[in-house]
Amino acid sequence: MSERKIGVYVCHCGGNISDYVDVEKVIDAVKGEEDVVVARTAMFTCSDATQQEIYDDIQQMGLDGLVVASCSPKLHTFTFRGVAKRAGLNPFRYTQVNVREQCSWAHTDDRLGATEKAIRLVRAGVARTRLLAPLEPTVVETVPKTLVIGAGIAGLRAAIGLSDIGLSVVVVEREAAVGGWVKEFGPLFPHEKEGRALIAQLEAEVRRRENIALFTQAEVVKKAGSFGNYVVDIRTHGKSSMTMQMEVGSIIVATGFDSYQPEEGEYGYGIDGVVTLPEYKKMLDEATGPLVYRGRPVKDVAYIYCVGSRQGEAGPHQYCSRFCCSAAVHSALELHGKDPSAHQYHLYRDMRTYGRYELMYQESREKGSLYLKFPESEPPAVQKGSDGRLLVTVRDQLTSQKEMQIPADLVVLVTGMVPRENDDLVKALKLPVGRDGFFNEIHPKLRPVETVVDGVAICGACQFPKTASESVASGLAAVTQSAAMLKQGRAELDPQVATADPELCTDCGTCYTTCPYDAISPMELPGGRRVASIAPATCKGCGGCAPLCPEHAIDLQGYTSAQILAMIDGLAREVV
Amino acid sequence: MTVLQPNLVDEVRADESFNASACMNCGVCTAICPMELEHLPREIFRYVLLGMKEELLQHQETVFSCLLCKMCEVNCPAGVHITENVRSLRHYFDRKVFRI
């Protein structure tokens, strides 16, 4: 084996590590390891001073391998890759060893054991580093064009945002008209702007822009390629049915939601006068004064909350739909404005008018809305009264659990949002779907619009129930995310991906079907022999294929079988 | 079972200023009452707001037992003028029940 020059740096992390791990002992144990030419401790390895020290060591001693034993690779992988790169060392010849989260913090009761474990972990890191080959990132040229799927309020606003930044946009909408749910709505909270007016304005703007192409009655049926160069098939259904193919750099999914449709008999649904929230909102928006339903004045309205949400054992919708409390209270305010003498009863499980919407809740109480809390185990019952009106029976937990009956002219079932049926799109894009049926982001707070599919972002209510303004905000976040990736014109992808050795491959086909990203396909060699070929830009380096290959032809760069075996040897060796 | 009569609050308000709509049913008033009046004031106010006339009339005793000490009022997080409301209710009873 060729001689290597490896530098090892073990961090105190102030005391986070050194309080439980004897870092000097770790240094002593690895100093004599083969190929280790320098081993030091540092109070904070990530500090500028220590980064400079590592930089100097690389330059002066000509290090060709770097091991940093400190915190989780989540925190500082890019810090130390940067140090290596600046000093002229290939950044993929560096190994991060986690001796904080996975050692000192986990074994605060056992200093001796923690120290021994740290020694083993660092030895494994050295063993891997010894075998690391220099790698270069895969560079892909990106197409400056984004596909937006869904032309609701989030998709339309995202299209305009992308166009503003100078990217071409293709908007694909399944329906004949753009605007989704919001095009039907009158005043929306919190700004009281009319939904229809907002959509009209956005649509006019989208149609005016030369760098936005809008296709209605169209669907995305296929996606191929990889980040920066997706090739998508779009099928139109209108007067002329045809399939177009185009290249886009990134994709924003804004396919929206469906409203929960109560079953016949659920809270009296089906009885004349029992309506869902969207049906009620439509009636309200159309009314110019006091509400009239089927020729009869509406004087008493009862709202039943959480219909189709937080169903527990009773149904598939376990989640709180978030927006509906505020939306129902906002509708109640709309009615208070149109008919101050109307009586409004709100039958709820928990009121969640989050943030500033609390002010609407307060205003509705001041205007006379009454709130009754019913127990989850005993939901209200709706029946037709003898006088032809509706009668809602409810047990009010705020009035000594008394059971009471509310005569009502209209019962509004405050229905939540449910995921829209989009099976074909999910299949075409390989979108990650959560347990609740909505699309999943990578991290709800840290990476809120990105998905595990590179270059595919999600926004609006296809992700989780959102208000119109929240949908627009997430749409713009997706714009920023897409633009940041595409405006550079090129992207560097992680080279730590799988490769298949054509000498060993027998074209057995096991890996073709195993890859969750469709990165592996057969390729014909000049001699006519077929072998597996792995597209580096599509491969995510998950390693799923490597252990399945019966010929051991597949290796994950940076985590080759030889490297992993060497690490196991390092871990298993006696400490002294 | 009580059938709600939504006009009760208007009846009370006809001559009085009764306003408890800011109440968020936290129950501090009931917990803090030195008379340990179980039904005052939060729940009695709810009878009025919801239109539970029968229950309201049953609690005449409670309405007149209140000391008007204002302990509940100064501790009310929603700023409901509780003692004013109790006075209004007494006046309502005077008119409706005692006819004075």
pLDDT in tens, B36-75: 776 768 899 999 999 999 999 999 988 999 999 999 999 9
Are B50 and A399 an interchain contact pair (Cβ–Cβ within 8 Å)? yes
Interface test with chain B among A347, A363, A402, by most B beta carbons within 10 Å: A402
Q: What is the per-residue burial (b if ≥16 Cβ within 10 Å, else e) of A231-262?
A: ebebbbeeeeeeeeeeebbbbbbbbbbebbeb
* B contacts of A399 (beta carbons < 8 Å): 43, 46-47, 50, 52
According to CATH, what is the number of the domain A6-135?
A: 3.40.50
Alpha-carbon distance of A171 to A139, in angstroms, equals: 28
Mind telling me how many Å the CA of A413 is from chain B's nearest CA?
Answer: 20
Rounded Cα gap, residues A339 and A453, in angstroms: 51
**What are the residues facing A491 on neighbouring strands?**
A140
Domain assignments of chain A as residue spans, ordered by start:
6-135, 145-256+420-490, 260-415, 495-557
Of A343, A362, A405, the CB nearest to B6: A343
Query: Are A399 and B43 contacting, i.e. CB atoms less than 8 angstroms apart?
Result: yes
pLDDT for res A240: 80
Written as six digits, the tokens of B79 are: 């700023």
Instruction: Give burial (CB, 10 Å; 0-12/13-18/19+) of A173.
Output: buried
Instruction: Give dist(CA A40, CA A217) in Å, integer.
Output: 65
Name the strand (E) or helix (H) holding A423: helix A423-429
Q: In CATH, which superfamily holds the domain spanning A260-415?
A: FAD/NAD(P)-binding domain (3.50.50.60)
Residues in CB range of B50: below 8 A, 6 or more apart: A370, A372, A396, A399, A404, B4, B8
A405 and B55 in contact by Cβ < 8 A?
no
Residue B1 tokens read as: 């079972």
Query: Which of A365, A400, A405 minimises the CB distance to B4?
Result: A405
Q: What angle do CA A284, A339, A360 make, to 5 degrees?
A: 75
Distance CA B12, CA A571 (A): 82
CB environment A459-472: b (16+ within 10 A), e (fewer): bbbbbbbbbbebbb
Provide, as residue numbers in chain A, all residues whose Cβ is less than 8 Å from the Cβ of B50.
Answer: 370, 372, 396, 399, 404
What is the CATH topology of the domain spanning A495-557? Alpha-Beta Plaits (3.30.70)
What is the model's pLDDT at position A419?
Answer: 96
- When computed from its CA atoms, the radius of gyration of chain B, rounded to whole angstroms, is 13
CB-CB contact of A68 with A91 (8 Å)? no
Domains A145-256+420-490 and A260-415 are alike in CATH topology = yes
Name the minimum distance, in Å, from the CA of A365 to any CA of chain B. 5
pLDDT at A225: 87
Nearest to A115 by CA among A22, A213, A235: A22
Higher-confidence position of B19 and A303: A303
CATH no. for A145-256+420-490: 3.50.50.60
The dihedrals phi and psi of B5, each to the nearest 5 degrees, come to -115, 95
Coil, helix or strand at residue A519: coil
> What is residue B36's predicted lDDT score, i.e. its pLDDT?
79
ipTM associated with this complex = 0.93
CA A486, CA A517: separation in Å to the nearest integer?
A: 21
Alpha-helical (H) ranges within A40-172 are 48-61, 73-87, 111-130, 153-165
**CB within 8 Å: B1 and A405:** yes
Structural domain boundaries of chain B? 8-95
Over chain A (576 residues), what is each successive 10-residue block's mean pLDDT? Answer: 87 97 96 94 97 97 97 94 97 98 96 97 97 94 97 98 97 97 95 97 98 96 91 91 95 97 95 97 95 95 97 89 98 97 97 96 94 96 92 95 96 97 92 94 92 93 97 98 94 93 94 90 93 92 94 95 96 90
Q: What is the pLDDT of residue A2?
A: 57
Alpha helices in B14-81 (DSSP H): 28-32, 42-50, 53-58, 60-65, 71-75
